[in-house]
Amino acid sequence: MSNQELPNARTAARPWLRDLLGELARQPAGVAGFLMLALFLAGAVFEKRLITFGETDSRWHDITYWDEQPADAAPFWTNAFASQKSAVSLLLSPSSSAHESSGGARLLTHVFTFPYRYDLPPRDLVVRFRGAGDLPVAVTMTRPDGQEITLDQEQVSAGSGSDVRVSVDKSAGQAALGFLQGNESVDVMAGVDADRIRPTSVLFSQAGPGMLAKPRALKGDYTIRLLVVLVTPTAQISRPTLVVTGRVSGLLGTDNSKRDLWSGVIAGIKWALLIGLLTAFVSVAIGVVWGVTAAYFGGPVNWLMQRIFEIFSNQPVLPLLIVISAIFKPHIWFLIVIMAVFFWTGPVKTVYAMALSLREETYIEASRALGAGSARLIFRHMVPMLIPYAFASMALSVPGAVVYESTVSLLGLGDATIVTWGQILHDAFTGGAVLGGLWWWVVPPGLMIALMGMTFSFIGFAMDRILHPKLRRR
Amino acid sequence: MYLRYALRRILNALAIFVVEMFIFSVLFTATAERTLRAQIEESLQPEAARLRNATAEQVQRFVTERRAYLYHASHLDQPAFARVLWRTLDTLTFQFGNSITIKSSRGERGVWRIIAETVPPTVMLFTTSIVLQVLVGVWLGIKQAQRAGRTLDKSASIVTMVVYGLPTWWVAMLLIMLLAYALPIFPSGGMYALPPPNGLASAIDVLWHMALPVITLVLVNFWGVALLARNIVLGILQEDYISAARARGLSERAVLYGHAMRTAAPPLTTIALLSLLSSVFGNIIFEGIFSWPGMGNLYWISIEQGDTAVTLGLLAVTTGLYVAGLAFLDLIYGLLDPRIKTGTAP
């Protein structure tokens, strides 16, 4: 008397699973689904390498982190379709550095070369470094036509160590005005409102009369020099960088808070996967066990379980989810728990019907005759037979969970410590992206939700087709 | 027989609703009471200010007594369990209290009034789109079942899978960008033009504003109906009596509409309506994208303004409509399929 003679459900389930995976490999939809899932998983695993801003995940809602980016900028590749090419956002390291000392003071020169090949100038150039002590700083620019302009001179107190930023847009207004005066006539200059001049559009234009009204881009290599005098021995600077704040930026552009959307969209992958998979797994697991247990026991237990099921299945989940989120402001983990608590009703009816017929199988009877308890019968003999169905059901409930979280976030009720696609779309909607035509802000996050839904619906429908072969053709 | 079935189903729905409202009360009483207390305090201030000739002591006494009275009137002075029960009872009798900031179009503060106003636009929008979805979906589903495995069936199945996880509100955003911003064909939102036209022009104006939301809903959701219809019709087409009918030399048309659809109609109607009913409640937020002045839009407003009384009232009404909708569908199903009411259905 041993397991060899009785069909053990666990060993019986394994070929089932292998068959299922084998069949899936023969379904084009299943293959497509698994390929897309592999891409999403790769996106989540290699997130740090894919995104351009390393701290996207933790600092998405920290506006200072994104300050050097342009706001509402289109993706850089839109230049390919534009007649006038816009300057692209860049980070440049010094192309050369020099170091002189004279009488105790040291003069540091960092030279940046900015190759400007566009028609529309960048919005800003920012020279950034980490400094310590009192630092006299000067920033100069040598244009391709040989003209040299001193953009800014100032005395910076960096204290014991802080980030110093010199913005051309903010501090080179006078320099730009001076440069303009050297080229335009007195009449033109009389009508100029000094506050309305964009320094970058003057500095990147061909010099000569008419450069204000009809600027033409002066293309070529611009040399920007950062000169710092270190007076005291403790004074120092490190990590000098030139930030070019372009008109187009990144793979997917930026939003109105200057955030890089590509980084946000990629950082959202792992949250969508987590929300979808965890909710689907927990809820289907509860549903399967619930249905089997109710069918197995029957009688009053079944009656009670059916009534509880009715209460949950008669509840519109999304409105309740929204209200709970509005009132309790849940953390993402708590939201997943709530979703699981309300999603489990999905598979119950089918599982119940399947378990009713399973209960009558002879191997169950045999096992019971051998003295197997209820728990053993349910978990070792009945639940494993439903695993293929459970997998299909899980795959098909992933998109629902992702969409529901996005919808809750769309209303502005998302967890503010993370970044999800729904939150990006909330910002886009309230930020006027829809009626402002900022498509790069609206399309990518929604497309990701759609693709995530597609991935799991391909897998789920492929499984479904394997489980119901009658539905394939006439 | 049917009457007994119907009565049982209705009582069952009522019981479910009562239990759900009780659960809500347990969950949300604390929040609702915080709002209520704040409202009472706010109403006390101007009342106390009106007592000009009273001494400070008298004012103090008045405020204390008045507060005790108002607390008593709204059962705030009772133990927690009793407060939950009172709250359940209030919800069941549609006494949701007053809003903080939101007003109805006539300026009323009663939450029930505010919500009642938003039901007709929602019903109008979603019934129109459900009718269209069922028509288009069933038509496509039948075509798919007739030529199962062929190009039309395969491509429609692929589209069904593609739109499966598509958020309707995102498609709405895209269509607004495309058809209201880039090519200004449709209005971007609302229900009326400003100023609203009169007479027949007004009806056309409403239809005009309804067009884009309805197109969006139908475009995203009819595929699901088509899949259901396909699977049900295909299952029936494999039955023996269909083969028998074909063997008798009946035309494919007669087999389909005279035999297959007769069997398919009851489950098809109810399952399609059921799936659409749940899609309505899963898409309710969608109204906010179009500023369509329905219940979904009120969710947006009440959450943005933090008007808890309205939010909780909305949840109760939404749940009530859902429970009633499910019961109603079961009643239709009982009418269409006589096996249901006798309990002999599989």
CA distance A62 to A267: 15
Q: Check CB contact under 8 Å for B149 and A458.
A: no
Contacts of B234 in chain A (CB under 8 A): 470-471, 474
AA letter at B204 = I
In this structure, what are the phi and psi dihedrals at residue A108, rounded to the nearest 5 degrees?
A: -105, 135
Contact (Cβ atoms closer than 8 angstroms) between residue A348 and residue A290:
yes
User: Given this model, what pLDDT does residue A248 score?
Assistant: 86
Closest in A400, A437, A449 to B177, CB measured = A437
Task: Say whether residue B234 is in contact with chain A using an 8 A CB cutoff.
Answer: yes
Average pLDDT of chain B to the nearest whole number = 86
Contacts of B164 in chain A (CB under 8 A): 396, 399, 453-454, 457, 461
**How distant is the Cα of B289 from the closest Cα of chain A, in angstroms?**
8
- Which pLDDT tens digit goes with each residue over A370-409? 888 888 888 888 888 888 888 889 999 999 999 999 999 9
Q: How many CB atoms lie within 10 A of CB A220?
A: 13
Task: Say whether residue B278 is in contact with chain A using an 8 A CB cutoff.
Answer: yes
Confidence of residue A9 (pLDDT cuts 50, 70, 90): very low
Q: Check CB contact under 8 Å for B299 and A443.
A: no
Angle at which helices A9-26 and A439-467 pack, to 10 degrees?
120
Contacts of A411 in chain B (CB under 8 A): 285, 288, 299-300, 303
Whole-angstrom CA distances from B250 to A185, B246, B255 are 94, 5, 6
Nearest to A279 by CA among A311, A314, A319, A321: A321
Confidence of residue A15 (pLDDT cuts 50, 70, 90): low
Q: Which strands form A236-245's sheet, in the order they lie side by side?
A: A90-92, A236-245, A124-132, A162-167
Residues in chain B: 346
Average pLDDT of chain A to the nearest whole number = 85
Interface confidence, given as ipTM, is 0.89
Contact (Cβ atoms closer than 8 angstroms) between residue A421 and residue A403:
no
Residue of B nearest to A353 (CA): B346
Task: Say whether residue B177 is in contact with chain A using an 8 A CB cutoff.
Answer: yes
- Which pLDDT tens digit goes with each residue over B189-217? 888 877 777 778 888 888 889 999 999 99
User: Given this model, what pLDDT does residue A165 score?
Assistant: 86
Nearest to B300 by CA among A408, A184, A403: A408
Q: Check CB contact under 8 Å for A327 and B13.
A: no
Task: Say whether residue B64 is in contact with chain A using an 8 A CB cutoff.
Answer: no
CA distance B285 to B297: 7
Q: Check CB contact under 8 Å for A458 and B181.
A: no
Q: What is the mean pLDDT of residues A116-144?
A: 88
Q: Check CB contact under 8 Å for A435 and B188.
A: yes
Task: Say whether residue B131 is in contact with chain A using an 8 A CB cutoff.
Answer: no
More confidently predicted of B126 and A192: B126
- Which pLDDT tens digit goes with each residue over A327-367? 888 889 999 999 998 889 988 988 898 888 888 888 888 88
Q: How many CB atoms lie within 10 A of CB A163?
A: 10
Contacts of A398 in chain B (CB under 8 A): 165
- Which pLDDT tens digit goes with each residue over B159-177? 988 888 889 999 999 999 9
Q: Check CB contact under 8 Å for B157 and A461.
A: yes
More confidently predicted of A129 and A195: A129
**Helix, strand, or coil (residue A221):** strand
Residues A399/A405/A409/A414 CA torsion (nearest 10 deg):
-150
Whole-angstrom CA distances from B345 to A152, A351, B66, B338, B340 are 85, 17, 61, 9, 5
Q: Check CB contact under 8 Å for B13 and A314.
A: yes
Percent with pLDDT over 70 in chain A: 95
Task: Say whether residue B239 is in contact with chain A using an 8 A CB cutoff.
Answer: no
Residues in chain A: 474
pTM across the whole model: 0.86
Closest in A318, A412, A449 to B170, CB measured = A449
**How distant is the Cα of B54 from the closest Cα of chain A, in angstroms?**
41
Closest in B167, B238, B312 to A323, CB measured = B312
**Helix, strand, or coil (residue A70):** coil
Q: Check CB contact under 8 Å for B165 and A413.
A: no
Confidence of residue A3 (pLDDT cuts 50, 70, 90): very low
Task: Say whether residue B120 is in contact with chain A using an 8 A CB cutoff.
Answer: no
